[in-house]
Chain A
Amino acid sequence: MSTRNIVIAQIEQVGAEQNKMLRPLTDDLNLLDSGLDSLCFAILVARLEDKIGFDPFTVSDDVEFPVTLGDFVRAYENVPA
């Protein structure tokens, strides 16, 4: 499964577990409008770290938290050196 598909699948799973209505998951979807709250994102980041092997938002101090879903997916696709 591609990194993108892993990320999308986890978003859908966490959304379902937390009883959230998700907007269609397009790259330009603003994360704040996605239907996921901050707890959902915290869970998502923890699970993706276990699945993919790193947390892109803590590996470096100067990482900005993504604004859109596309930014979020790319953070995982850019494997740290």
Chain B
Amino acid sequence: MSQPKAQSLGHALKQAEPLAEAILSDGISRVSLRHLLAAAETLADGWAGRSVMIAVATQFEAARVLICLNGVAGRLLLLPPDVKPEHYASMVRDASIDTIICSDAAPFAGLGVETVVLGEALPCLSPIKNAKSSPTEWLMLTSGTTGEPKIAVHSLAGLTGAIAPVTASSRPHWATFYDIRRYGGLQIFLRAMLAGGSLTLSRPDEVVVDHLRRLAADGVTHVSGTPTHWRRALMSDAASLFNPKVVRLSGEIADQAILDGLKAAFPNAAIGHAYASTEAGVGFEVTDGLEGFPASYLETAPGGVALRIVDGSLQIKSSRMASEYAGRPDLILVGSDGWVDAGDIVEIRNGRCYFVGRRGGIINVGGLKVHPEEVESVINRHNAVRQSRVRARKSPVIGSIVVADLVLLPDIANVDVVKQEIFGLCKANLPSHKIPAVLSVVPVIEVTAGGKVARAHA
């Protein structure tokens, strides 16, 4: 298992000796990494040991604050932009936040903690009593967004444990469709920073085609996103404008259709899908172009993790896992035997493990279980399908039946023929209770702020 590498992000950044031209950019603001580093060295007083919620308006500002406060603050909690204000109080309570750094203090008034507005630089504060002197804890919201958010506690050593050193000659220019205030995006932020290369950030207001054009213009070489992000990218002609060297998928099941689609669109790119979650950290990466992962990983997994399957569910053990849910001793993140179960259901077929769905997402058809994702992976094999979402429809007869929403390629001449073909594909590959009873063509499928297909779990 890998050992802690970096106590301080500023220190690690300095060691990486960022390229003179390395920049952090979101298309509106740009800053050089060297400038960010200099800012971290001139940090204002009084932040030592504070438990800080980073609630600034943009990813760009969040990056600035992270670099300045890591190694100084006791805790850093990243607030993603899509969190509802009614959850702020529970987050402050659970994470024992004493200071909020924000772009506008109004939404955080009345929470009973000090609010500080970020200006050109971090303002000076009075030192707090009982300041923690331990290494900074990094707190991330988990991706399940219903109810009060859960907050996973990480260390920088754990967050960066899966990041391989980069040689100076091959510095990547990273981009990610994620927001860096969530686990998947933060991974890419750290990868870019530790490599001393550039990072092009996403912007929530930007349409896909403009975003892709910006990636091309910036000379991005490495790009990361969910399969849903990538399906959207492939729907855009702008995908033909850029030529990434590395394409990475995580956060959802990468089925064969999206892997093949990306290979066709980017024939020169290395395409890999990573298994990672906010709780389990980065597990492993699969780069053989196939969905799932070799069953041999259950004996020996790459990258210092151990894997096992218990009751159909993949469990993981590594030095990159979160340690606990902040302020919630009643919730179990790491089991007493040291394994994390992220709720991903796996099946073994012919020496390969396939992800079939999430434990909480099962549709119950007359007592038989259906994972939406396993049906989607069959539907997505049809050439005319850009994206699909399988969901339950309540049925007075047998509880639920399976129905599917489809986003098709434009210019499909005969939608009924396509539907019949998809139906035939399902019939040839799925037992009857898993075949969607109704196929509906829709203009768009709802996507969460985290870039995943929105699913209404009962």
A45 with B438: CB separation less than 8 A: no
Instruction: Report if B403 contacts A (CB, 8 A).
Output: yes
Residue B339 CB within 8 A of the other chain: no
**Within 8 Å of chain B (Cβ to Cβ): is A2?**
no
Query: Which residues of A have CB within 8 Å of B398?
Result: 38-39, 41-42
Interface residues on A, range: 10 to 19
Give the docked Cα–Cα distance between A45 and B365 (Å): 14
**Bound complex: CA of A43 vs CA of B402, how far in Å?**
9
CA distance A50 to B436 in the complex (A): 14
List chain B positions with a Cβ less than 8 A from chain A: 365-366, 393, 395-398, 401, 403, 423, 427, 432-433, 435, 437-438, 440
- Lowest 10 A-B CB distances belong to which pairs? A43-B437, A42-B395, A42-B397, A42-B401, A57-B396, A42-B398, A41-B397, A38-B398, A46-B437, A38-B397
A70 CA to B384 CA in the complex, in Å?
A: 40
Chain B residues in 8 Å Cβ range of A18:
432
13 contacts between A and B (CB under 8 A): A17-B423, A38-B366, A39-B365, A41-B398, A42-B366, A42-B395, A42-B398, A43-B437, A43-B438, A45-B395, A45-B397, A47-B437, A50-B440
A38 to chain B, nearest CB (A): 5
- B401 adjacent to A46 (CB under 8 Å): yes
Q: How far is the CA of A58 from the CA of B394 in the complex (A)?
A: 10
* Residues in A neighbouring B427, C-beta threshold 8 A: 17
A71 contacts B by Cβ under 8 Å: no
Q: Count of A-B contacts with CB under 8 A? A: 45
Q: Which residues does A use to contact B, with CB under 8 Å? A: 17-19, 38-39, 41-43, 45-47, 50, 55, 57-58, 65
Q: A17-B423, A42-B398, A43-B438 are in contact. List 11 more A-B contacts (CB 8 A).
A: A17-B427, A17-B435, A19-B432, A39-B432, A42-B365, A43-B401, A43-B437, A47-B438, A50-B440, A55-B396, A65-B397
Across-interface contacts of A45 in B (CB, < 8 A): 395-397
A38 to B433, CA, bound (A): 10
Q: Tell me the bound Cα distance from A57 to B366 in angstroms.
A: 17
The distance in angstroms between the C-alpha atoms of A43 and B401, with both chains bound, is: 7
- B393 partner residues in chain A, CB cutoff 8 A: 46
Task: Give the CA-CA distance A47 to B437 in the complex, in Å.
Answer: 7
* Complex Cα–Cα for A47 and B395 (A): 11
Bound: A46/B396 CA distance, A: 10
Enumerate chain A residues within 8 angstroms of B435, measured Cβ to Cβ: 17
Q: Within the complex, what minimum Cβ distance (angstroms) separates A34 from chain B?
A: 14
Q: Which of chain A's residues has its CB closest to B435's CB?
A: A17
Query: Are A39 and B401 in contact, with the CB atoms below 8 A?
Result: yes
Task: For B432, list chain A residues within 8 Å (CB).
Answer: 18-19, 39
B365: chain A residues within 8 A (beta carbon): 39, 42
Which B residues are CB-close (under 8 A) to A43? 401, 437-438
**A58 contacts B396, C-beta separation under 8 Å:** yes
Neighbour of B395 across the interface among A17, A19, A46, CB < 8 A: A46
Q: Cβ of A46 and Cβ of B403 under 8 Å apart?
A: yes
Q: Which residue of A lies closest to B440 (CB)?
A: A50
A-chain residues with CB within 8 Å of residue B440 when the two chains form the complex: 50
Contacts of A46 in B (CB 8 A): 393, 395, 401, 403, 437-438
Q: Which residue of B lies closest to A63 (CB)?
A: B396
Taking CB atoms, residues of chain B closer than 8 Å to A19 are: 432
Min C-beta distance of B78 to chain A, whole Å: 42
In the bound complex, residues from chain B placing their C-beta under 8 Å from that of A41 are 397-398
Roughly how many angstroms separate A17 CA and B428 CA in the complex, as a whole number?
11
B405 to chain A, nearest CB (A): 13
Return A40 CB to nearest CB of chain B, in Å. Answer: 9
| B423 / chain A contacts, CB cutoff of 8 Å | 17
Kindly state the separation between the CA atoms of A41 and B437 in the bound complex, as whole angstroms.
Answer: 10
Whole-angstrom CA separation of A57 from B435 in the bound complex: 23
A36–B438 CA distance with the chains assembled, in angstroms? 17
Report how far A45 CA is from B423 CA in the complex, Å: 18
Q: For the complex formed, measure the closest distance between the CB of B97 and the CB atoms of chain A, giving whole angstroms.
A: 47
Min Cβ gap B205→A in Å is 35
Query: CA of A19 to CA of B431 in the docked complex: distance in angstroms?
Result: 12
